[in-house]
Amino acid sequence: MRKLRSMLFTAAVSVTMVAVTVFPALAIDKDIVILHTNDVHCGIEDNIGYAGVAAYKEQMKEETPYVTLVDAGDAIQGAPVGTLSEGEYIIRIMNEVGYDVAVPGNHEFDYGLERLLSLAPRLNCGYISCNLMNEEKGSTVFEPYKLVRYDDVTIAYIGVTTPESFTKSTPTYFQDHLGRYIYGFGEDEDGTALYACVQEAADSAKDAGADYVILVGHLGMEGSTSYWNSENVIGHTNGIHAAIDGHSHEAFTRSVSNKDGVYIPLVQTGTKLSSIGKLVITPSGEIKTGLVEEVSEKDAKVQSVMDDIKAQYEESLKAVLGHADVALTSVNPETGERAVRNAETNLGDFCADAFRYMMGADIGIMNGGGIRASLSAGDITYGDALTVFPFGNMLCVAEVTGQQIKDALEMGVRLYPEENGGFIQISGLTYTIDTSIPSSVVTDEKKNFAGVAGEYRVTDIYVGSEPLDLQKTYTVASHNYWLKSGGDGMSMFVGSNIVKDETMVDVDSITSYISEYLNGSVGEEYKNPQGQGRITIQ
């Protein structure tokens, strides 16, 4: 049976492997197997599923006693199972699966830092992060690393959390009541502070007796701030033998040079359990990596726990809110690739319309990164709405100037044509992106908007049929994440006069908009997947 299972594993692992042989041999005669996941985003039964992860971990234990399961962040947010319990259901499932090491990703903060601090003791393995700092105390919030012994061998797992958490979660979660930042992530304008945090942790772990050091980071590659991405962190440090990554939802195994020119493995598994990462350290000191893409077995106990949890919340998700005659999409219908972060879509129009109409504002704005799923044609349930808006943000209306609106639009398109979670879907407003003009947006060390140094890329901005007046005050409907907390770096809104403060949860705007304004039916006005021509690109 063991031989058969080994054959099944070989067939299920991607052929891309990385082998590094420059490290010391182990003082044990069995492989150390490190299984890893990242960016599950509440996908408890997607693809391999948590029951598959648990079954595969037990399978590996039949081959070696040295098996560790690691998560590289963004596990507790992304679907109703997370939203309705503020992460607690996911913590219970992770405990049943048997995670040994976990790092907080930026979305672990989405229910508030205090909520994360209350959840951390309930996660059996706890969290580690070497760069999440309590600035007032001058210490890390969690332990910077965790030592795991495999008989006569000790491995240190160092946790790292992206400094992008300031803008890709909610900035006010890291501030005191006066708006002063009391928590930090080792952020600066060139990555030096983050590299120092990681290097200090690696050196400390070695001094504590670690034979090997594994970086477990929620840092990302594609689309991440370059000097905070995993490759640059590795390239500016030494003493790390392998790196497990998350944040950018990529699936890869590659070799990356460290500060001393030594190549180490860097691995990431995609998202929603599309694969399980497998990093093996052999007794000879060789490190191999691969991606497990299929698991034939499911752990019955984990499945039972998930079934019990689903039964507690699924009935309420079946309530029908209305009907859609057309599909509302967040993707490009021709390519199937996500579009809502760099183009207008009909779902983006729909969400921004819901904000504007329900709040009675001149303009509605919605961040593309906050729209997390599409809506198929047919009945729309509460569960469907929660997959679109899983964050539980609260709607507000702020009085802002035309200049603030122009600055926000410019901030949203600064990365175009690359994706940007802060790309603005709009209602009551139209604008043009002039791609011939390079972005000159200036941000501070936390990636908050600080100004525009040159010509604006956004042009031809109209509110209704009138050109935007930079001196005029408009009412803008959006969520507290932008209007009060400066999420996605939208600091130009912070401090604005809030005339309607957190009046409804974002998901309820969909419910009410369909029933009160659309008479229960989403119709032909939203039939074009690419929207209603509110955003022109030239």
CA atoms of 365 and 363, how far apart (whole Å): 7
Q: In 219-275, at which residue ranges do the beta strands (DSSP E only) sit?
A: 242-244, 251-257, 263-269
Task: Give the SS3 label for residue 479.
Answer: strand
Confidence category of residue 350, pLDDT binned at 50, 70, 90 = very high
What does 365-381 look like in DSSP terms, one character per residue?
A: EEEGGG----B-SEEEE
Contact call for residues 105 and 74 (beta carbons, < 8 A): yes
Contact call for residues 239 and 213 (beta carbons, < 8 A): yes
Confidence category of residue 2, pLDDT binned at 50, 70, 90 = very low
Contact call for residues 211 and 154 (beta carbons, < 8 A): yes
**φ, ψ (nearest 5 deg) of residue 337:** -85, 150
Please give the helix or strand (H or E) that residue 3 lies within, else none.
Answer: helix 2-12
Contact call for residues 142 and 118 (beta carbons, < 8 A): no
Q: What angle do CA 399, 401, 407 make, to 5 degrees?
A: 120
pLDDT at 501: 85
Residue 322 has pLDDT above 60, yes or no: yes
Q: In what order do the strands lie in the sheet with 133-134?
A: 139-140, 133-134, 183-184
Name, in order, each residue with C-beta under 8 angstroms of 255's C-beta and a sequence gap of 6 or more. 18, 20, 263, 264, 265, 266
Task: Give the SS3 label for residue 332.
Answer: coil
Residue 1 has pLDDT above 90, yes or no: no
Residue 353 has pLDDT above 90, yes or no: yes
Mean pLDDT throughout 112-139? 96
As given in the structure block, the two tokens for residue 500 are: 């309607």
Residue 4 has pLDDT above 80, yes or no: no
Task: Give the SS3 label for residue 228.
Answer: helix
The count of C-alpha atoms lying within 13 angstroms of the C-alpha of 161, restricted to the half-sphere facing its C-beta, is 31
Nearest CA to 42 out of 312, 391, 420 is that of 391
pLDDT at 150: 97
pLDDT at 11: 38
CA atoms of 387 and 367, how far apart (whole Å): 15
pLDDT at 20: 53
Long-range CB contact pairs, 435-442, < 8 A, 24+ = 435/537, 435/538, 439/410, 439/413, 439/414, 439/415, 441/410, 441/411, 441/414
pLDDT tens column, 490-537 = 999 999 999 988 888 898 898 889 988 999 999 999 999 999 999 999
CA distances 156 to 101, 150, 291, Å, are 10, 11, 22
- The amino acid sitting at 68 is T
